Amino acid sequence: MKQVLSKVSLVMVAYLFSLSALQAQTDGNNAITTAAPFLNINPDSRAAGMADAGVATSPDLNSQFLNPAKYAFIDGDMGAAISFTPWLRKLVDDINMSTATFYYRLDKMQVISASIRYFSMGEITFSNGPDDPGYQGKPNEFAIDAAYSRVLSDKFSGAVAFRYIRSDLTNGYSNTGESLQAGDAFAADIGFYFREPMRVNRNDAEFTAGINISNIGSKISYDGINKEYLPTNLKLGVGYAMELDRYNSLAFAFDVNKLLVPSNQIKPEDAGDDWVDPNNDKSVPAAIFDSFSDAPGGFEQEMQEINFSIGAEYWYNKQFAIRAGYFHEHENQGNRKFASAGFGLKFNMFTLDASYIIPMVQNNPLANTMRFSLSFDLSDFK
């Protein structure tokens, strides 16, 4: 992918490539944008097969991204996973996200985990105009996480994760003479997980619930002056799994999400060109709390800023899985509406998962997006 980009357009490309702003525009469109939106791209193929529902599903090796508190109840003592996501293949052919994850059980009560996510925006030609040959760069972003999970009771667990984020959108290029740099930030996640085993029709079943508040952290700056919010996100979910018989089981999951960052405010008609959204000056804690009531459209818009996922997972003999789901986002907030499908194959020591997005709206840049994950159970090595 080769493009001629100014500083401003490059930053916008980072926003557009990531999540919602590429969607069809409407008269009421007021989609929220943040820095480093790649942090909210789910790399887990299992959850992606259920339309990104996963904060309350059963624990797996990729729990780091949707709710690290699930690790406390994972079966096994040690494991690793790798994931690969070709992103926006309908538009370009060289944007990818690669992920690696590891967890280790300290004892019956405690688990530590770590991961790294690398988001490559491909090759871009930086230029100041048609007469400037410019140079080719490879903008990228990455995040390194470490988490601690602990059993708090027989049915309840909690976790905290710490994250370092680096976002290099320009490779040092500037067409205005001002100094540009990669942005650095630190953030944390807080998650909880609840499970209630039960018996239904003489078969095992389980109700689960989860919450994860991710990317609570500092703002990020690319010029040392202007600062942008990270995509702080609230994710709530419930799940229900049941055994149908000795060989067949079925699970359902439902998640809701809301960005805990300021809503875009409407520019007054008498405001000049130097008008600045007053929400940009809020501290991160103030922005999080005010995000539930600061939408200029009132309660109706606040509800529009909530998206949801619903998914189902079927297992045969705990070796083969089929998944499906649906993701909904209001048209004024990005209009991401898609179905998903996926499968999983589990062997003695490793599991292969894959997922596929089926768009529900025309010209959806997420169309044909696939994710792949490979997980390894290393408990025997411990």
Domain ranges of the chain: 4-267+275-377
Dihedral angle of Cα 100, 105, 106, 109, to the nearest 10 degrees: 130
Nearest in space to 2 (alpha carbons), one of 134, 131, 175, 166 = 134
pLDDT under 70: residue ranges of the chain: 1-29, 127-134, 172-179, 266-279, 382
Residue 269 has a pLDDT of 62
Q: Residue 150: what pLDDT? A: 97
- The predicted-structure confidence for 203-225, as pLDDT tens digits, reads as follows 899 999 999 999 999 999 888 78
* CATH level 2 (architecture), domain 4-267+275-377: Beta Barrel (2.40)
Residue in this structure with the two tokens 């490559």, named with its chain if needed: 120
Is the pTM here over 0.95, yes or no? no
**pLDDT at 22 (0 to 100):** 42
Bridge partners (DSSP) listed for residue 2 = none
- Give pLDDT, residue 14: 42
pLDDT for residue 263: 86
**CB within 8 Å of 53: residues ≥ 6 apart:** 47, 237, 253, 254, 255, 309, 310, 311, 325
pLDDT at 9: 42
Q: Yes or no: say if 219 and 284 are a contact pair by the CB < 8 Å rule.
A: yes
